[in-house]
């Protein structure tokens, strides 16, 4: 074999050896830190494209334009990490041409309301809030949302003063007299307060409350995960769940109840499904399951029902004050039920054509004429009645739902949402854990950190969401959000730390 | 000239064959470790081209070995 051939062979095999080393290095990431970036100019393995395509205009070498809410992207990693710092570079622009029409089916997930209302809404709403979320619980479809931009807070005028308070910012109108501590201790002032990305420990009590010991059944059954507030005063929480397994999904069913107070879990109990991985669609009645707590001191408790979509429950309880938080997925109704809610804007949709109906939100009628389409009401204040004809509805909004006006309790301080009007709502105090994004020319840049140990992952893939409530660009001139780059900094254990831990575990 | 070309093509063919086998094994053992960093399409194409070249030049293989 001639020398030059030997040298060629050596070069080729060395190149292969180096390539394997390169792949292993970037697979193992021995120093425990790596950064990925996607400017959407070409497909990227680590940071996926923005989906669904119906809410994103992309192509022609342009940055993607987000036209609807929400959009999702996946993050793939080659090894586990504990933290992710996601940096979003974006700007709001006006759509310079009408978007390509989507088909009826594709439009299914989009918001809809009457044309006149849409016009008013879109003229007054340019998507003031942008948030990034990490999928934390797939079954409950729960994203851990963190702020990117809140134009309502950024635009607070000179009549507001800001001071740092326990790692957050306490804003108060200049004539406001309360301190943050004083505000949280005084439930009477909660009506004048709002929070953003901050869960304060509140001290909510109901004067003159007496416990009712008579069990009462709800006039509807609910499907999947829910959360509700319940009030107790030296009494036990009593919940009886009449369970039904719809057997639509092959995954094993689960049904869990989690009781917490001021963010601290105080009890939980798990009830099983039928234990069969069945997707025949034949529903199985699972009978009644009961939960009874220990004697609880006076206060508000939050009850989380964690269940997959196959599980339907009808609740019977002895608790008098009970209010569902932000969302209800009504499966079946018994009689003609009414709900009461303090939400400002009701979002409602159905997935089943046989459940198309007319619903009423206060004095406003909402005609649900197409499945999968999300309808919404006008903004109105105070407690309103919601009347609907049949089940199969998903109701959502920022606030609570209850069976009667007297049962309604909302112990929390209202959250700032895209519908918030500080003046109209008489808000004098705001507590926010929020930092304004940085400006980079026309672009805004914001980094948001997530704890990946609390994330849901499948095959080392994490799911993220960009939430821009109210964004609905359907014609030239509408506001869209252009995203020029998503970069992710991942940190975790280094190889040295991993080896040291393995050795210490063995010894 | 043909002889040298044959030897070069053969060396590349061996190297690309080994690369593909190793990359496939790596991917099988650790999904994404190779594909996250490289598109193996061009390697497959080069492997195929070098293989065709080797086969094409193979006729006079005995003369090259002399």
Note which residues in 377-406 of chain A have CB less than 8 A from chain B.
Answer: none
Chain A residue with Cα closest to B24: A20
- Determine the straight-line distance between the first and last CA of chain A, rounded to whole angstroms: 53
Question: Is B11 touching A (CB cutoff 8 A)?
Answer: yes
Rounded to whole angstroms, the Cα distance separating A419 from A193 reads: 15
Question: Are A350 and A371 contacting, i.e. CB atoms less than 8 angstroms apart?
Answer: yes
**pLDDT value, residue A117:** 44
**pLDDT value, residue A251:** 73
Q: How far is CA A323 from the centre of its chain?
A: 19
**pLDDT value, residue A394:** 93
pTM of the full structure: 0.81
Interface pTM (ipTM) of the complex?
Answer: 0.91
- Six token digits for residue A21: 């080393």
Q: Cis ω on the peptide bond leading into residue A243 (within 30° of 0)?
A: no
Rounded to whole angstroms, the Cα distance separating A458 from A272 reads: 23
Does B43 have pLDDT greater than 50?
yes
Rounded to whole angstroms, the Cα distance separating A464 from A50 reads: 10
Question: Is A23 touching B (CB cutoff 8 A)?
Answer: yes
Rounded to whole angstroms, the Cα distance separating B62 from B58 reads: 8
List, for residues B8-30, the tens digit of each pLDDT value.
999 999 999 999 999 999 999 99
Quote the minimal CA–CA distance from A26 to chain B in Å: 8
pLDDT beneath 50, residues of chain A: 102-124
Rounded to whole angstroms, the Cα distance separating A131 from A147 reads: 4
| Contact yes or no for A16 and B19 at CB 8 A | yes
Note which residues in 446-465 of chain A have CB less than 8 A from chain B.
Answer: 459-460
Q: Where are the beta strands (DSSP E) in A273-392?
A: 284-296, 299-307, 311-317, 322-333, 338-341, 347-350, 357-361, 364-368, 374-376, 384-387
Note which residues in 26-65 of chain B have CB less than 8 A from chain A.
Answer: 26, 30-38
Does B47 have pLDDT greater than 90?
yes
Rounded to whole angstroms, the Cα distance separating A144 from A223 reads: 22
Burial class (CB in 10 A: 0-12, 13-18, 19+), A315: buried
List, for residues A466-490, the tens digit of each pLDDT value.
999 888 888 888 899 999 999 999 9
**pLDDT value, residue A425:** 86
């Amino acid at each position: 074999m001639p020398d030059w051939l030997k040298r060629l062979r050596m070069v080729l095999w060395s190149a292969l050896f180096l390539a394997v080393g390169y792949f292993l290095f970037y697979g193992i990431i021995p120093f425990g830190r790596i950064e990925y970036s996607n400017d959407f100019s070409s497909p990227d393995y680590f940071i996926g494209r923005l989906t669904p395509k119906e809410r994103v205009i992309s192509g022609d070498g342009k940055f993607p334009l987000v036209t609807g809410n929400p959009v999702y992207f996946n993050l793939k990693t080659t090894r586990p990490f504990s933290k992710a710092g996601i940096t979003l570079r974006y700007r709001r622009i006006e759509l310079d041409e009408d978007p390509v029409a989507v088909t009826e089916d594709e439009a299914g997930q989009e918001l809809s309301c009457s044309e006149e209302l849409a016009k008013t809404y879109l003229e007054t709403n340019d998507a003031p809030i942008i948030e990034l979320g990490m999928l934390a619980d797939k079954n409950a479809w729960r994203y851990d949302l963190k702020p990117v931009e809140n134009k309502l807070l950024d635009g607070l005028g000179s009549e507001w003063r800001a001071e740092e308070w326990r790692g957050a910012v306490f804003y108060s109108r200049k004539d406001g007299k309360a301190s943050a501590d004083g505000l949280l201790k005084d439930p009477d002032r909660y009506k004048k307060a709002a929070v953003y990305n901050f869960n304060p420990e509140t001290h909510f009590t109901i004067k003159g409350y007496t416990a009712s010991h008579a069990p009462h059944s709800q006039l509807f059954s609910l499907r999947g995960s829910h959360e509700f507030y319940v009030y107790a005063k030296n009494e036990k929480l009593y919940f009886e769940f009449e369970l039904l397994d719809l057997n639509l999904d092959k995954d094993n069913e689960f049904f869990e109840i989690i009781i917490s107070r001021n963010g601290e879990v105080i009890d939980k109990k798990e009830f099983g499904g039928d234990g069969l991985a069945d997707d025949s669609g034949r529903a199985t009645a699972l009978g009644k399951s009961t939960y009874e707590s220990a004697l609880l001191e006076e206060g508000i408790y939050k009850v989380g029902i964690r269940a997959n979509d196959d599980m339907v429950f009808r609740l019977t309880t002895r608790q008098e004050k009970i209010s569902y938080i932000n969302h209800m997925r009504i499966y079946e109704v018994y009689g003609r039920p009414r709900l009461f809610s303090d939400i400002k804007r009701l979002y409602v949709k159905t997935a089943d054509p046989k459940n198309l109906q007319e619903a009423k939100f206060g004095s406003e009628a909402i005609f649900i004429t197409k499945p999968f389409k999300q309808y919404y009401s006008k903004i109105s204040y105070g407690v309103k009645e919601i009347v609907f004809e049949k089940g199969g509805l998903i109701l959502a909004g920022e606030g609570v739902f209850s069976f009667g006006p007297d049962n309604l309790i909302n112990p929390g301080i209202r959250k700032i949402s895209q519908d918030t009007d500080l003046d109209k709502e008489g808000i004098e105090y705001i507590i926010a854990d929020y930092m304004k994004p940085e400006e980079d020319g026309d672009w805004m840049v914001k980094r948001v950190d997530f704890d990946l140990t609390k994330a849901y992952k499948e095959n080392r893939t994490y799911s993220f969401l960009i939430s821009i409530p109210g964004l609905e660009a359907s014609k030239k001139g509408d506001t869209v959000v252009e995203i020029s780059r998503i970069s992710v900094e991942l940190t975790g254990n280094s190889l040295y730390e991993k080896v040291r831990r393995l050795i210490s575990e063995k010894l | 000239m043909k002889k040298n070309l044959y030897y070069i093509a053969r060396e590349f063919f061996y190297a690309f064959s080994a690369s593909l086998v190793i990359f496939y094994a790596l991917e099988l053992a650790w999904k994404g470790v190779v594909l996250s960093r490289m598109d193996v399409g061009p390697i497959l194409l080069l492997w195929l081209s070098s293989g065709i070249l080797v086969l094409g030049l193979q006729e006079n293989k005995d003369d090259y070995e002399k």
